[in-house]
Structure formats: structure tokens, C-alpha cells
């Protein structure tokens, strides 16, 4: 089960271009559950991305609202 903070982090990863203020603990939890992955950019920076599984979770949450 995801905490409210983890759900919020998942939503931010999907909708925000600025990932500098994401909580590391929440991001680690999402990585462990394969809801996000880390993309290595050509610039050498790393960026979190929502996986297909993470997208399915967000779609399910949207259905509830």
C-alpha cells in the first residue's frame, strides 16, 4: 500500500518537469515497487519517470476520484 506522500510523489513525477524537491525516501519506495524508474539523460543528469505499472496506479486513483 502506498502512503499519501508516495502517491503525491508519483503524481509529481508524472506531472512536473522539476524533480529537485522530491523526497528521497518516497522516491526510493516507488523505485522498489517498480512504479518509477530512473532515466539517465545525455547531459549526465538522472530523471525519475513513471513506469507502465506506476501509470496504471495513477489511472486507478483517477477512477476513484
- Which overall architecture, per CATH, does domain 4-64 show? Orthogonal Bundle (1.10)
Q: What are the residue boundaries of the structural domains of the chain, listed by start? A: 4-64
Q: How many CB atoms lie within 10 A of CB 29?
A: 18
Query: Which ranges of the chain have pLDDT less than 70?
Result: none
Residue 5 CB partners (closer than 8 Å, separation 6+): 23, 26
Instruction: Look at residue 10 in the predicted model and tell me its pLDDT.
Output: 96
pLDDT attached to residue 17 = 80
pLDDT of the residue at 18 = 79
* Among 31, 25, 32, CA closest to 48: 31
Q: What is the rounded CA–CA span in Å between residue 49 and residue 36?
A: 5
Amino acid at each position: 500500500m502506498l502512503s499519501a506522500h508516495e502517491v503525491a510523489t508519483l503524481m509529481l513525477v508524472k506531472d512536473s518537469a522539476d524533480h529537485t524537491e522530491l523526497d528521497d525516501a518516497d522516491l526510493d519506495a516507488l523505485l522498489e515497487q517498480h512504479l518509477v524508474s530512473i532515466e539517465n539523460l545525455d547531459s549526465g543528469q538522472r530523471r525519475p519517470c513513471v513506469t507502465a505499472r506506476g501509470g496504471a496506479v495513477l489511472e486507478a486513483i483517477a477512477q476513484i476520484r
